[in-house]
Amino acid sequence: MPLPVPGTLPDRSPAPCPAAVSEAPSVPVRPSGAVLRSPWSRLALLIAVLVGAGVAVLLYEPQRLLASGWPPELSGAGAAAVFAAAYGLCTAAFVPRPLLNLAAGALFGAQLGLAAAIGGTVLGAGIAFTLGRVLGQDALRPFVRGRWLAAADGQLSHHGFRSMLAIRLFPGVPFAAANYCAAVSRMGYAPFLLATGLGSIPNTAAYAVAGSQATAPTSPAFLGATGFIVLTGLAAAVVAWRKRHRLHSR
């Protein structure tokens, strides 16, 4: 034991007890990605994204920007590809497809406008389907009950391609609603996108032709396109009425 230095007092403070030295309790830090593991958190994020997209459409009206023409440096297939990408984003944000289809025909003609519109249709459907599948399916699946919801879910889950093809051919169900209903079901990506692309061709072609002939509303092409649009709308209403009557009779 060392002797104290003359003129100084020995240090009489007690030695620290090892048991008394303890670290502050650590608070577990939840990683940022862990919040999205909850189905309800993902659903809340989906609702926020959709509301934000809807508000942006109301404020900025992107459909008018698409229909107002393109810069001179964009033309032909390049402009159609840019239009298809913008079309897909707009449809995912609830911009009505008929307006975009008419704009495609007016800007690029019937053939190239149809190609751009179909490409944008498939892209927009894929975006909406992915958002609904990743962010909404787990939270909404337990609510698929009742006769109508269970019947629709069974058709989309077990007969996905056939059901979606019929929905796209007879445009009685809104485009966005069909996308998110399919996402909540157990329908696969491939049949959904393929049925969307094929089933959207007739109606989209009619709108593209009507848009390309908008300056000649009395031409046979314009009258035939508008007549087809009206007939398919009536057929969709008849099919919807029969389906509803059949469900009520069960």
Tokens 């994204």 correspond to 49
Q: Residue 42 is which amino acid?
A: R
* Domain contains 86: yes
* Domain contains 219: yes
Q: What range does the domain containing 118 cover?
A: 39-66+76-249
Q: Residue 1: what pLDDT?
A: 54
Q: Which two tokens stand for residue 212?
A: 């390309």
DSSP-derived letter for residue 15 is P
Spatial distance between the Cα atoms of 153 and 184, rounded to a whole number of angstroms: 8
Distances 230 to 55, 75, 118, 235 between C-alpha atoms, Å:
30, 32, 20, 9
Q: Residue 11: what pLDDT?
A: 54
* Domain contains 20: no
Q: Residue 196: what pLDDT?
A: 96
Question: By three-state DSSP, how is residue 193 classified?
Answer: helix
Q: Residue 20: what pLDDT?
A: 47
* Domain contains 108: yes
Q: Residue 18: what pLDDT?
A: 52
- Model's pTM, two decimal places? 0.74
* Domain contains 145: yes
* Domain contains 19: no
* Domain contains 155: yes
- The stretches in the chain having pLDDT less than 50 are 19-22, 24, 27, 29, 32
* Domain contains 21: no
The answer to whether the beta carbons of residues 43 and 135 sit under 8 Å apart is yes
State the total domains in the chain.
Answer: 1
Q: Residue 27: what pLDDT?
A: 47
Q: Which two tokens stand for residue 143?
A: 């609510």
For residue 62, give the nearest of 29, 99, 28, 33 by alpha carbon: 99
Sorted by sequence, the CB contacts under 8 Å of residue 211 that are 6+ apart come out as 101, 102, 103, 104, 105, 106, 107, 113
Q: Residue 21: what pLDDT?
A: 47
Residue 188 phi, psi dihedral angles, 5° rounding: -85, 165
The answer to whether the beta carbons of residues 70 and 107 sit under 8 Å apart is yes
